Amino acid sequence: MRYWGDLDTHGFRILDQFRMIFPHTTSFLMDRNTLMQHEISWGDEPKPTTVELARLTPDEAVLYDDLRFNRIRRNLRLEQEFIRFGKIEEAVACI
């Protein structure tokens, strides 16, 4: 099972909840590289969450912490619809 959500605190929270039911789910396009490649499309997350999430991978957890503690930018969000189509094609081709 694969999951792709917004790169924001709620996207990671949904991924965490999804893994409660489907524990072997892997994410795609929810990584620091994707986030940094799309800085021009960054937006603001209106009400970020700061809850602890137990079902993230180590890399996901580091990025989630950077988002929830505003280490990159305050209330940073990259909505999935702003990721370049070519990047999406590349990711789907690897599945």
Q: Given pLDDT bands bounded at 50, 70 and 90, which one contains residue 12?
A: very high
| Mean of pLDDT values over 9-14 | 98
d(CA 83, CA 55): 24
For residue range 44-82, list pLDDT tens digits in order: 999 999 999 999 999 999 999 999 999 999 999 999 999
Total domain count, the chain: 1
Cα–Cα distance between 93 and 68 in angstroms, integer? 31
Q: Is the pLDDT of residue 9 over 90?
A: yes
* H or E stretch at 80: none
Is pLDDT above 90 for 31? yes
Per-residue pLDDT, averaged over 6-26, amounts to: 97
Taking 90 as the threshold, does the pLDDT of residue 94 lie above it? no
44's enclosing H/E stretch is: strand 43-44
User: Which two three-digit tokens encode residue 81?
Assistant: 């619809």
% pLDDT > 90, the chain: 96
What is the pLDDT at residue 95? Answer: 78
* Domain boundaries, position 67: 2-93
